[in-house]
Chain A
């Protein structure tokens, strides 16, 4: 069962989406709110698997909510749901470290699919996002140490630092150190970007586009 928290300023959207999600056998709406400042409290209370969040919240920036969620242990997956299919939405979602982006200009069925995909550990972004991230980063993945490549593949697999530490038999701090170096070498800001880049530039490194 996928437990979902919905946050959207538009009560009508919330109501419609809630009704739709409740009809799915594998999804349960754990909580919902029109107030962005409530999200963190509700996440603490209900521990949802996926947070579906509009970036255009009135009381607080959607990106701030995502960043705050990202810092928590056992952070839920975050799916941004927005009306705007533009570079600004895409960049905000990526910068904040969301797991995916769904559009209100697509059928709500697409949102359902995206919820299942991010829950399953996939990153759900338009193709253009990958190209964008691919173009960044001064260095090529060829500069990575074997350990950094290992860490990269696990980050791309959706593992948290503590999970990576356990898998590789390292301390949390060592993993943190590798992750920081990895991000700086790849020219990415966060795990989402590192994972998206992995999909294209994973070892052995492909030719530059």
Chain B
């Protein structure tokens, strides 16, 4: 999403607050200005929840570790769900398609873990295994039956920018990686993905 509306609303709010002060002698007018301020603040609040998601995170500029760290911080800021991040210091960088895939997959996995697990924290581990990169996203939340969820997602397609477990699997297979979900009701969830680094 383009940030234009944010700039406009922020500017309008600034002006309205100036107006609000000058209306001290007219309570009715001031009340209306106050209402307009609250409406615009609410609109900003809603935009805040998804604007970060749609900004390309500088895949060319930033190494893999920084991209992942950024996503973890973003998730914590937006959700109050803590992320335990396990990144080796010497992770290095990887091919662009792999980097973008890991970003999208992690984003989706964290969103799923937030929406469905009920867990207070998620754990993210990224490591190099030979010529591959391994990503594991786990929680100790509710868990689910992966086969049932995967089967139910066949016809869902991409909805609201989310592509579900099936979307993660498709993305991984397209790049020649491996995909596994270890979960069961009441047992938490661990999603493991490996992708070729180069």
Contact = CB atoms under 8 A, between A and B. Distances in A.
A144 B85 CA distance: 26
A126 B7 contact: no
B55 interface: yes
A13 B58 contact: no
A17 B41 CA distance: 15
Interface string A100-144: 000111111100000000000000001111011001001000000
Interface string B52-76: 1001011000100010011111101
Contact of B18 (A19, A86, A126): A19
Nearest to B46: A105
A126 B77 contact: yes
Contact of A106 (B14, B18, B44, B51): B44
A114 to B, nearest CB: 14
Interface residues of B, number: 38
Contacts of A84: 3, 51-52, 55
Interface of B: 3, 6-8, 10-15, 17-18, 21, 37, 41, 44-45, 47-48, 51-52, 55, 57-58, 62, 66, 69-74, 76-78, 82, 85, 89
Given A83-B10, A84-B55, A108-B17, 7 more contacts: A12-B7, A15-B11, A17-B14, A87-B52, A107-B41, A108-B13, A126-B77
22 contacts: A12-B7, A13-B11, A16-B13, A19-B14, A20-B14, A20-B18, A83-B51, A84-B3, A84-B51, A84-B52, A86-B57, A86-B70, A87-B57, A88-B62, A90-B70, A104-B6, A104-B44, A105-B47, A105-B48, A105-B51, A106-B44, A108-B13
